[in-house]
Structure 1
Amino acid sequence: MRAPETSAIASRAWQVWGLEASVLVTEPSRLDAAAQLARHVLDAVDLACSRFRPDSELALLRESLTQGALVTPLLATLMESALAAARWTDGAVDPTLGNDLISLGYDRDFSAGTSGRSANDPLAAELSGLAAAPLLRNRIVPGWTRVSLDGRLLTVPADITVDLGASAKAVAADMAAARIASELGCGVLVNLGGDIATSGPAPAVDPAVESPLAVAAAGHWQILVQDTPQDPAQQVSLPAGHAMATSSTVKRRWQQAGARRHHILDPRFGLPAETVWRSVSVAAPTALEANAYSTGAIVKGHAAVPWLRAQGISARLVDQRGRTVTTTSWPAVELAGVGSHG
């Protein structure tokens, strides 16, 4: 999912956290500063909550958190956002699945590959801090409801490993876009592996272009929604100041003991969610909300469409045969040559 460039937009892309990050600005002269600000935000988020860094704040405080520990304002914000995503999705998006991900072999940054360990591997149990494989633990009480955050006082039970994963990425996109627009005074789009946040004014429409599409695009960013080259594509207009996210069961996959795994887990079982959907894209006021509902829809599978409609969420779902379904007021402004199957 990306924003097509025009002469009025400058962009830069790089790799971070095993995914592609990019920044687009409406003032080319501010691109260097914008990219630097985005990197600062990403570095701060990574240092606060990475599950793959032994020096992250979350890792260093792990033992203290069992009794409750004061955390930095940034980590408190990230944890609060993750718990909010869990509430919005009725627990479909759960930030306490770290042990399950480790058992499934997702125990390092995806750019470094995965171990593909068996859930019964002793090292997997050691990493998770459990005496038995986490896939067998009691799930009567959802993990996220057992985490307490009172202001900056965070308490995490000893048998839980927090994985902020997608929600932290979405918050980072929101924070980076807001900071760039505020400090540099330009319009900006930040894309972190499909989590898109915008802030400030959208690219200006060229008055010399006489096209209904140009008029329709005023105040909007043009976004190409397509998870992989094999998926159906749609170009939509995203209002400035809004966000979009795509969650995928096609990307971030690996093999474990002959089984195909992906990184979006169903909290009820600690296993990859059923792959009813290849991808789900959601448009929302913030990347955090968009990511929560797109991920929640993957987990909910066949129940996703009525759930999204009941919540009034604008979404585009692509099934395993490449067919699309849209809900509510999914962005519908399309450019020539790119159609929707929805």
Structure 2
Amino acid sequence: MPLVETLPVGPDTAQWEVWGTVARVVVDASSTSAGSAYHGRLGSSPLVGEAAAIVRAELAVVDEACSRFREDSELRAACRAGRPVTVSPLLAALVGAALTAAQETDGDVDPTVGAAMCALGYDRDFAALTNRSPVPVGRAVHVFGSPDWRSVRLRGRELTVPDGVQLDLGATAKAFAADRAAARVFRELGVGVLVALGGDIATAGPAPNGGWRVLVRDRPDDPSCTVGLPAGAALATSSTASRTWGRPGELLHHILDPRTGRPAPRIWRTVSVAAFSCLRANTLSTAAIIRGHNAPALLGNAPSRLVTPSLDVLHLGGWPA
């Protein structure tokens, strides 16, 4: 997974493993009356425990709504129905976010790639994929003929998924969850907070002096940089080197080009994008991987950092050097 670490790690930090990655929650209560009561005490602040509990609860309801690895998820039931179904407000919002991302990227980030993901072997939580044999490289995989997010209908809370289509919200749901969890922590506790789910970071409330200090890199030997995120900013990193499975020389990665049903060519090792929502940052970073050589045109003025397979680094849109 892309490594995105807050600096330094201290008593106001909690982390745990979830969804095949690491969740990290950092609170900064120094500027609030709630935080002043705990400032300087030994041990973890009670606020970080409360914040972590909120984030865990948010991730649990998102998982129940849209996991494609759970037989009992609401999304799996909707995909099996083959007819219009009324879904929860949360699932409607998650599907709506995925369809918006598809529209904004001209179909690069397409949630109808679920069947292609399964055909390639990514049909369970990523932690269970170690040494899984991939589909042979020459084999074509198709989803609903040509994958097309426009085949999915969402009107309010009425969702229609055509027969044969499996939705995969992985490209947007984690970023959506980070935004939602950070916003809830700030709303309920009144503290500045950073929520990181692997390479997806969201913040809410006031930032520490100098901003949220974040180390961005993919693997330990890769180029790295430290950035300061202002209050409310977000950061997403997409990678073709992490979340890989298969055998040496035949490794697949999880970012599919919906036009082929195959992993996107490795033009970029990683793409990191800053924005004022994690969902927007992740939409751009994922689409940039799929666009390949045309990624700079897509990213425009968005602060971005692109790393090639040979570890050359390209900065765009005012990304700090």
Same fold (TM over 0.5): yes
Cα drift, residue 3 of structure 1: 1.2
Letter in 1 for 2:202: A
Q: Does 1:41 align with 2:58?
A: yes
Partners of 1:72 and 1:136 lie apart in 2 by 26
User: 2 CA distance for matches of 1:184 and 1:279?
Assistant: 34
Quote how far apart the aligned CAs of 1:166 are: 2.5
2:116 match: 100
2:92 equivalent in structure 1: 76
1:150-188 CA-to-partner distances (Å, cap 9, x unmatched) read 000001111210000130000000000000011001000
The answer to whether the Cα contact below 8 Å between 1:247 and 1:291 also exists between their aligned partners in 2 is yes
Cα distance in 2, alignment partners of residues 273 and 138 from structure 1: 19
Q: 1:186 to 1:167 in 2, by over 3 A?
A: same
TM-superposed deviation, 1:63: 2.7
Which protein, 1 or 2, shows the higher relative CO under an 8 Å CA cutoff with sep ≥ 6? Answer: 2
Aligned equivalent of 1:160, options 155, 161, 165: 165
Choose the corresponding residue for 1:197, options 189, 198, 202.
202
Paired residue type of 1:19: T
In 2: Cα distance, 1:16 partner to 1:285 partner: 24
Offset from partner CA, 1:226-246 (integer Å, 9 cap, x none): 111121111111111110000
Counterpart position of 2:42: none
Q: What SS does structure 2 have at the residue aligned with 1:2?
A: strand
Residues 176-325 of structure 1 aligned to structure 2 (within 5 Å): 176-203=181-208, 205=209, 217=210, 220-255=211-246, 259-309=250-300, 312-325=301-314
1:54 counterpart residue number: 71
Q: Deviations over 1:287-330 (max 9, x none)?
A: 00000000000000111012212xx3221100011111111122
Alpha-carbon distance between aligned partners in 2 of 1:313 and 1:72, rounded to the nearest angstrom: 33
Instruction: Give the secondary-structure state (helix, strand or coil) at the position aligned to 2:122.
Output: coil
1:89 to 2:75 alignment:
no
Contact 1:280–1:316, Cα closer than 8 Å, also in 2: yes
Name the TM-score, length of structure 2 as normaliser: 0.89
SS of 1:61 mapped into structure 2:
helix
Return the offset for 1:137. Answer: 5.8
State how far apart, in whole Å, the 1-side matches of 2:46 and 2:89 are: 32
The separation in 2 between residues aligned to 1:75 and 1:175, in whole angstroms, is 13
Gaps of 5+ in 2: 30-44
CA deviation after TM superposition for structure 1 residue 62, in Å: 2.5
For 1:195 and 1:182, locate their aligned partners in 2 and report how far apart those are by CA, in whole Å: 20
Residue 274 of structure 2 contacts residue 281 of structure 2 at CA under 8 Å; is this kept in 1?
yes
Structure 2 CA distance for partners of 1:302 and 1:245, relative to 1, 3 Å: same
Corresponding residue to 1:172 among 177, 181, 187: 177
Amino acid across the alignment from 1:20: V
Q: What are the Cα deviations for residues 53-104 of structure 1, in whole angstroms up to 9, with x where unaligned?
A: 001011123232x211100000000000011111111111111101101110
Deviation at 1:2, TM superposition (A): 1.4
Residue 138 of structure 1: which of 137, 145, 149 is its match? 145
CA separation of 1:137 and 1:185: change in aligned 2, threshold 3 A: closer
Asked whether the 8 Å contact 2:215–2:225 carries over to 1, the reply is yes
Does the 8 Å contact 1:250/1:279 carry over to 2?
yes
Q: How many residues align?
A: 301
* Conserved 8 A contact 1:118-1:256: no
2:14 pairs, out of 1, 12, 15, with 12
What SS does the corresponding residue of 1:277 show, helix, strand or coil?
Answer: coil
**Alpha-carbon distance, 1:258 to partner:** 6.1
| Distance apart, 1:17 and its partner CA | 0.7
Moved over 4 A (4+): none
Q: Who is 2:46 aligned against?
A: 29
RMSD: 1.9
Residue in 1 that maps onto 2:39: none
What whole-Å deviation, never above 9, does each CA across 1:79-135 have from its counterpart, x for those lacking one?
000111111111111111011011101010001226435379xxxxxxxxxxx9743
| Distance change >3 Å, CA 257–CA 193, structure 1 → 2 | closer
Give TM-score, length-normalised by structure 1: 0.84
8 Å Cα contact 1:103-1:133 kept in structure 2:
no
Give ranges in structure 1 of 5+ residues lacking alignment: 121-131, 206-216, 333-339
